[in-house]
Amino acid sequence: WDAVFRTHVGGTWLWARAAVPQMQRQRSGSIVTVASQLAIAGGRGNSAYIAAKGAIVSLTRTMAVDFAGDGIRVNAIAPGAIETPLLKRSFARHEDSETARETSRNRHAVKRFGKAEEVAEAALYLASDASSFTTGIVLPVDGGWLAA
């Protein structure tokens, strides 16, 4: 529990704290944090991770309000299941990993897992001036997981 919170929540807070003073000096900036669709939907058997990602959502919204007057926008992306080594290890924990993989894949409205590049594009949007009127939001990049 402590290690997961230290990594996810503590790590997010530490890098944001390091970046904010420069952003305050320049009176602009954009912070994009990484949550998870599980922070919104919940899930089984992963309470520390899901709670930590939920804390990042709350931290993001709080920082958005705290730093808006400094010209700093703070938003989160909430990826769904993304084809990464971490996802592969997650399925490997199951007795029947292939069935677990197919069940998860089919849970997504688009019937596939996401790509890292798709998450990066969402983060790029939130970091760019194209989202200049956007702060305090959580953008799901989840292939319709939350909609299904």
**From the candidates 12, 38, 49, 141, which is the catalytic residue?**
49
Question: pTM for this structure?
Answer: 0.92
Q: What is residue 30's predicted lDDT score, i.e. its pLDDT?
A: 98
Q: Beta-carbon neighbour count of residue 104 at 10 Å?
A: 17
- Dihedral class, residue 144 (left if φ above 0, else alpha if ψ from -120 to 50, else beta): left
Our answer to whether residue 49 is catalytic in this structure is: yes
The 10 Å Cβ neighbour count of residue 127 is: 15
Instruction: Please report the pLDDT score of residue 9 as a whole number.
Output: 97
* Mean pLDDT, all residues of the chain: 95
pLDDT computed for residue 93 by the predictor: 87
Query: What is the average pLDDT across 68-79?
Result: 98
- pLDDT given for residue 42 in this prediction: 87
Q: For residues 89 and 11, which has the higher predicted lDDT (pLDDT)? A: 11
pLDDT for position 148: 79
pLDDT at 46 over 90: no
Tell me which residue of 26, 25, 35, 31 sits closest to 57, measured CA to CA: 35
The pLDDT value given to residue 6 = 97
